[in-house]
C-alpha cells in the first residue's frame, strides 16, 4: 500500500514506516499529526487505485516529526564584467525529516 500526499503544497509518494525529507514544517520534534481527506491525493490499496474523494475519506495517515535540519549552503554570485559590480548571496534550505507511522482506513486495515 502506498499513498500520494500533499505537505506544504508539494506532493510525496509515501509508504508505511518510510522516512522522507520535506520542506520545513513548523512543529516540534516528536510531534505526531494526521493527514486526512483533502491532503491525500491518491491511494494504492488492495491492488486498486483510489483517487475519488468518497473513496479516500475513510483513510488517514499518521506522521511523526523526527528532526529539523538544514541543507548544505549554496552560494549565488551575480556580476557584470568590467563594471566593478559583484553581489554574493547565500541560501540554506530548512528541512524536516518525517516518518510515516501508518496508513489506515476507518475499518482498521
Question: What pLDDT is recorded for position 105?
Answer: 87
Question: What pLDDT is recorded for position 106?
Answer: 78
Please tell me what DSSP assigns to residue 27. S
Residue pair 39/27 in contact (Cβ under 8 Å)? The answer is no
Please determine, for residue 109, whether its predicted confidence score (pLDDT) is greater than 70.
no
87-98 tens-digit pLDDT: 999 999 999 999
For residue 109 the three cell numbers come to 486495515
25-80 tens-digit pLDDT: 999 999 999 998 889 999 999 999 999 999 899 899 999 999 999 999 999 999 99
Amino acid at each position: 500500500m502506498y499513498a500520494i500526499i500533499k505537505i506544504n503544497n508539494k506532493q510525496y509518494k509515501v509508504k508505511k514506516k518510510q522516512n522522507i525529507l520535506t520542506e520545513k514544517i513548523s512543529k516540534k520534534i516528536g510531534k505526531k499529526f494526521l493527514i486526512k481527506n483533502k491532503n491525500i491525493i491518491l491511494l494504492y490499496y488492495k491492488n486498486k487505485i483510489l483517487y475519488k474523494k468518497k473513496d479516500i475519506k475513510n483513510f488517514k495517515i499518521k506522521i511523526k516529526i523526527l528532526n529539523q535540519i538544514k541543507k548544505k549552503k549554496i552560494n549565488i554570485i551575480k556580476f557584470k564584467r568590467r563594471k566593478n559590480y559583484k553581489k554574493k548571496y547565500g541560501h540554506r534550505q530548512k528541512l524536516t525529516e518525517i516518518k510515516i507511522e501508518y496508513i489506515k482506513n476507518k475499518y482498521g486495515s
